[in-house]
Amino acid sequence: MRRFALPGVVSLVVVGLLALLAFGVAHNGPSNMLASQVSRGKQPAAPNAHMRLALLGSSRKASLSELRGKVVMVNVFAGWCDTCQAEAGLLKHAQRVLSQHGGEVLGVTYDDSSSDAQSYMRTYGLRYPVLLDPAGNFVAPYGVNGVPETFIIDRSGRVIAANTGEMTKGWMDRTLSHVLGAQA
């Protein structure tokens, strides 16, 4: 019996280390790279800006590039997401602030049905455009692998701020103040 105990323990340790490595690789995606670039002061061009996606509640298609010249807060969300629901009030406030400065909030669905997204927008009284991204093709180069995630795009189409996770009022206020103060 002792003869099998040591190889069994070693096998468990190896499996544990492999699982930890797999977790680390899976969570070190492009979003982390994009957010890391932004946190280091880099301002990469917004990925997929010209990709045209269906607009929630419309037969039209739209793209991020159509908002060029405006400061845009891109909020990736899902109607079923409790954390997304918790930040709905902040998004409503951000839309008011941005619209006063010629900016816009742009929602992008992630792993969500259009009926869930419509219900979310209606429930929280949100009135900004929402792009439907059911396959995740638009958000993939942003590295989104969960919701919510928020990116600020400047007037020239560059990502200047990134928040991976629930947005706080402090982050939103500081970021919008900095962005709009520098670009107003």
Cβ neighbour number for residue 179 with a 10 Å cutoff: 21
| 4 has pLDDT over 80 | no
| Whole-angstrom distance, CA of residue 42 vs CA of residue 16 | 36
Task: Please name the residues in contact with 45: beta carbons below 8 A apart, sequence gap of 6 or more.
Answer: 157, 158, 159
Q: pTM score > 0.85 for this model? A: no
Domains along the chain?
Answer: 30-183 (3.40.30.10)
Q: pLDDT digits over 39-52, tens only?
A: 899 999 999 999 99
77-86 pLDDT tens trace: 999 999 999 9
Quickly state the pLDDT bin for 33 (edges 50, 70, 90): confident
